[in-house]
Structure 1
């Protein structure tokens, strides 16, 4: 049975670390322990992009994790305008590499319209094992 969990985060710097922690705790609880560094980096990049470019003042972004067999889908939904694009490769720029990193680490990556904003998502193929204490929990928080 597919698993799903989501959490909303305020437009604050501390939300990036909180989103990372939420994702890793959820995956560990579900028994998905492979590729956690890749997932953690992608959650950081997507959450940071949402805060910098997609979340209007006073609003939140939502991190959604879905697991179905060996596939983990990580999605960040915001209510802002604009459409994210991976920056062109440049050795001169200090920023703008986040979506290129996400595209390189994930097995699939994309953006879908989710009016009034959008959802930026990634998919990872991850090995699964039973978590300590039995079966993974289902549902959302």
Structure 2
């Protein structure tokens, strides 16, 4: 879950926060787990990259990691911006 929070928050900082704006991270109970929400005011819709992630470089793997580690993830609407979320079960 910590890695999912880190990746979603980093994506918000790098891609979703226009200058002078902030973002919000929320952790909410969700069934037998936790829902992580990151609210930002940027444009665009995040997606898992369709390219070969074995290519060298430091970026482009965050949402791939979230999609593999979380039980579910998605993007919701917010005015302005979006909410990127994931749900992680606690066992």
1:55 maps to which of 17, 39, 42: 17
The runs of 5 or more residues in structure 1 that have no matched partner are: 1-38, 128-141
Larger Rg: 1
Residues 30 and 87 in structure 2, CA contact (< 8 A), matched pair in contact too: no
CA shift, 1:89, in A, is 3.9
Q: 5 Å matches for 1:20-35?
A: none
Distance 2:51 2:71 in 1: 20
The 5 Å alignment of 1:81-120 reads: 81-90=43-52, 91-94=54-57, 95-120=59-84
Shift of the alpha carbon at 1:97? 0.8
What CA RMSD, in Å, does the superposition of the two structures yield over aligned residues?
1.2
Instruction: Look up the match of 1:30.
Output: none
Answer 1 or 2: which has greater helix percent. 1
Ranges in structure 2 where 5+ consecutive residues have no aligned partner:
none
Structure 1 stretches (4+) deviating beyond 3 angstroms?
Answer: none
Query: Structure 1, residues 108-135: CA drift from partner, whole Å, max 9, x if none?
Result: 10011111100000001114xxxxxxxx
What is the CA-CA distance between 1:47 and the residue it aligns to?
A: 0.6
TM-score by length of 2: 0.90
